[in-house]
Structure 1
Amino acid sequence: MSTRVSHQRVFVSVLLLLLGAGWAANHFASLLGPLRDWQELSGVTVNAAFGIYALGLLPSLLGGGALVDRVGARGVVLTGATLAAVGNTSLLFWHDEIGVLVGRFIVGLGVGLTTSAGTVWAGQIRPNGGAVLAGIFLTSGFAVGPVFSGAIIYLIPERFSLPAAFALTVTFSLLTIALALLVGNATSPAAPRQAARARVDVPYRTLGRALAAALPMAVWVFSTVTTAVVILSARAQAGAVPALLVPGLAALLSFGSGLLIQVISRRLAWGPGAGVAGALLAGAGMGLAALGGASLPLPLFVPACMVLGCAYGLSLQQGLLDVSYLAPARSHGIAVGIFYVAAYLGFGLPVIMELLLPLAGARSPFLVLSLLALVSALIRSAQIVRTDLLVRTNIRKP
């Protein structure tokens, strides 16, 4: 078997692991309502279960990125995928108030390792566009997870539906792990690290510069889609759409739009200005959420989800590209980890909005977020000019 073919198979297995990680993380969105109603959990508890996942992510994203820089990506990714499967297995058998918190925390630990290390690994195997494809497959997992779980909840009797939803994502995670183990022997584990070392660092590539460009994008990655999938789906007046399917519909609209806009942006080579568009779309989406307030009719719910999804897609893609272009090879892993830490803080937004609701109402917090997104767009615009001048200056140097 040629080295090229073996690397291609490993690359596909990495993308599938990221698809499984997104599914393992986000299928829970369609289970928030059933857990609240059938298990008699409070709204704060189920939103906290959605958000505590982010607490598990924080150390594993940073630790995973740092471990990749030291020991390579393969073992870190497989460990993360296994932990995500363990967390959802725990939720399969234990989904009372304590169980959902513990299980989601374990899922967060696993998905954090898989996301950071998998993104770096994809970029190492395929330096030209690997990290962007990693984001696309991760997005695909985020999109399909709630759709499948929502369909199971709707079609299968209550007694079996929750266990079936958790069992499905565990099965898919285990299949991706098995595939990665199978094809992983076809290439040397050192190959990705060699690819990373082959990258030539230039003076304008620094960790600080990469993060200064990427972090204003990271803020609008998961804060936008959690707004759509968790907050807006709970406030939607969906009419003929069954309530159990609304979170899945929100996920399909938002993550589907995010996936489509990433593909379009990549095909048409929109460049760093797409990040400005992402921040502006985040502002527009938050503005639509504020317009709807505590009750969104379907004609407002649908475009709000799609606009927020496009903001997610462009912000994720541009943030990863910033890290890829501006971070030095020796700290690429930790840069990806820090970017994702900032991005995943958005998973805490539903809890914050739930706590602010009796104090600030349903509209005001979204208006503030809309203004902050406009500020991010201005910051991004200024950074594009500075970075472009810096890169051009270094390119012209003999």
Structure 2
Amino acid sequence: MSSPSVSPPDLQAPPRAGRLPNTVGFYLLASVVVAFLAGSSAPTPLYAIYQAEWGFSPITVTLVFGVYALAVLAALLTVGSLSDHVGRRPVLIAAIAVQAATMLAFAAADGVPALMAARVLQGLSTGAAAGAIGAGMLDLNQTKGAITNAVGPMLGTATGALGSGLLVQYLPAPAHLVYLVLFGIFVLQGVGVLLMSESSSPRPGALASLRLQFALPPVARRPLLLAAPALAAAWALAGFYGSLGPAVVRLVAGSNSFVLGGLALFTLAASGGAMVLLLRASAPRTLMFVGTAGLFVGVGVTLLAIANSSESLFFAGTVVAGAGFGGGFQGAIRTVVPLARPHERAGVLSVIYVVSYLAMGLPAVIAGFLVVHAGGVLTTAREYGIAVMALAAVALLGLLLTRPAANRPVPA
């Protein structure tokens, strides 16, 4: 995401006639990122219902999850910086409209092809909105925007997973109601964005911004190489919880509760967001070290829980692993991105996105294959957990064997 093209407006400045105050606009944007990520995690507790109704295997569950991750990645790499050129509002209005339509597509889905199509549309609109929302919040308030950009997606993921599980468990129309609720939220948010003032002046280069940028300046290559195992471990774990997590926790707990299925992803994402918030003032290297160590220890605890069928131990391990997910990812970004000059950061972020979203989608699909063909859910969970721990161990070893680099001033 490139820098905003205009100076951030004063949050206390009087709004234009008929427009929302900037303070209200900021919190509206924060609510949009929460809603988008809530929508992305809402299907997680529903996979068991879809499997029962349509008779598909865990491979299909992970494919449905994987196509979402790839669609988000495709949108981030193409239209992720479009709002820097055409303005935040046009991109957001289009993305919210597509997201609202996607909720209706989910509610009307009658089979796997419709579910896949809805996930692709959802991923594309989420990726398109991410850059505009993040930049828009920074336009309005640099300090609050940076914190909300880090914590908001995790809060949204947590809210969507738990809220969906509660609606599915206790209210009627389980495969429809959660999507209709989200549809209403997106409609209201779309109206709100229409009433916002534009925070970024249009500038030329919109078509050029759609070109993929994969460029790593020499100074960022070694730090990214060291951060890659931490990124892969964190996002592979998130992908597993978002796809097969509900099946694992139901077997460990011996319960078919949909709330438990959503609670696992909620716990992972909520503890990740709390970690980022609590350690936001820590040095990037410290944050990545603590986060990666948390991944290693937390996943190890969940493996003990699976071996002993302990529900409480499983969630305790998930809390620690989730804190590791949040800390490891934020530590990696804050270690690598500041090393690049402003005009190089889009290319660096593109590489980070590729590593992260491929790690979220592809291992989960492989896990689905292993569930069907190589031993079942719990055996696959153990093998997957060992792989995540191995990646975390490689990241920790790299941190221990390298000296902290002095912060290099980056010219504007």
Q: Does 1:247 align with 2:258?
A: no
391, 400, 406: which one aligns with 1:372: 391
Matched, 1:52 2:67: yes
- TM superposition shift of 1:100: 0.7
State the SS of the aligned residue for 1:190: coil
Could you tell me which of 176, 184, 190 is aligned with 2:201? 190
Aligned counterparts of 2:107 and 2:127: Cα–Cα separation in 1: 20
User: Unpaired runs of 5+ in structure 1?
Assistant: 194-203
Alpha-carbon distance change, 135 to 337 in structure 1, aligned in 2, over 3 angstroms: farther
Taking structure 1 as reference, are residues 215 and 54 closer, same or farther at Cα in structure 2, changes over 3 Å only? Answer: same
After superposition, give the CA deviation of every residue in 1:353-374 in whole Å (9 maximum; x if it has no partner): 1213444743333213211111
After TM superposition, the structure 1 stretch with the greater mean CA deviation from structure 2, 118-127 or 130-139, is 118-127
The one of 99, 104, 108 equivalent to 1:84 is 99
Is 2:113 the counterpart of 1:115?
no
Contact conserved, 2:137 with 2:145, CA < 8 A, in 1?
yes
Does 2:363 align with 1:356? Answer: no
- C-alpha distance in 1 between matches for 2:253 and 2:230: 35
- What is the identity, as a one-letter code, of the residue corresponding to 2:277? V
Q: Is the 8 A contact 1:26 1:145 kept in 2?
A: yes
CA contact (8 A) 1:275 1:315 kept: yes
Amino acid across the alignment from 1:254: L
* CA–CA separation in structure 1 for the residues paired with 2:338 and 2:401: 17
Give TM-score scaled by structure 1 length.
0.82
- 1:146 aligns with 161
Q: Describe the SS at the equivalent of 1:371.
A: helix
**Per-residue CA distance 1:213-256 (angstroms, 9 max, x = gap):** 76454324432233334434312246486521112111221112
RMSD of aligned Cα (Å): 3.2
Does the 8 Å CA contact 1:136/1:259 hold for their aligned counterparts?
yes
Task: Provide the residue aligned with 1:264 in structure 2.
Answer: 278
Q: Distance in 1 between matches of 2:10 and 2:153?
A: 26
CA distance in 2, matches of 1:353, 1:245: 23
Q: How many residues align?
A: 376
- Would the alpha carbon gap of residues 179 and 381 (structure 1) be closer, same or farther in structure 2, given more than 3 Å must change? farther
> Matched residues in 1 for 2:101 and 2:45: separation?
20
Alpha-carbon distance between aligned partners in 1 of 2:183 and 2:247, rounded to the nearest angstrom: 26
Please state how far the C-alpha of 1:351 moved relative to its aligned partner.
2.0
Task: Report what 2:244 is aligned to.
Answer: 231
Query: What is the aligned partner in structure 1 of residue 314 from structure 2?
Result: 301
- Cα offset, 1:70, TM superposition: 4.3
Q: 82-91 or 208-217: which moved more?
A: 208-217
Structure 1 residue 4 and structure 2 residue 23: aligned? no
| Aligned partner letter, 1:52 | V
The letter of the residue matching 2:26 is F
C-alpha deviation, 1:120, in angstroms: 3.5
Task: Determine the C-alpha separation between the residues in 2 that align with 1:57 and 1:28.
Answer: 16
1:80/1:222 Cα in 2 relative to 1: closer, same or farther (>3 Å)?
farther
User: Are 2:356 and 1:340 aligned?
Assistant: no
Amino acid at match of 2:49: P
2:66 matches 1:29 = no
- Segments of 5+ residues of structure 2 without an aligned counterpart are 1-8, 13-20, 205-216
- Residue type of the alignment partner of 1:375: V
Instruction: Work out the CA distance in 2 between the residues paired with 1:119 and 1:381.
Output: 33
2:77 aligned with 1:62: yes
Rounded to whole Å, the distance in 2 between the matches of 1:9 and 1:192 is 26
Secondary structure, aligned partner of 1:41: coil
Using the alignment, how far apart are the partners of 2:256 and 2:291 within structure 1?
Answer: 31
- Measured after TM superposition, the shift of residue 93 of structure 1 is 0.9
- The worse-fitting range, judged by mean Cα deviation, of 109-118 and 313-322 is 313-322
Give the drift of 1:150: 1.0
Distance in 2 between residues matched to 1:223 and 1:74, nearest whole Å: 33
Counterparts of 2:366 and 2:243 in 1: how far apart (Å)? 12
Provide, for residues 297-355 of structure 1, a one-character-per-residue CA deviation record: whole Å limited to 9, x for no partner: 20221112212211221133324434653333234445444433432221343321121
Deviation, 1:13, is 2.4
For 1:247 and 1:300, how far apart are their aligned partners in 2?
Answer: 16
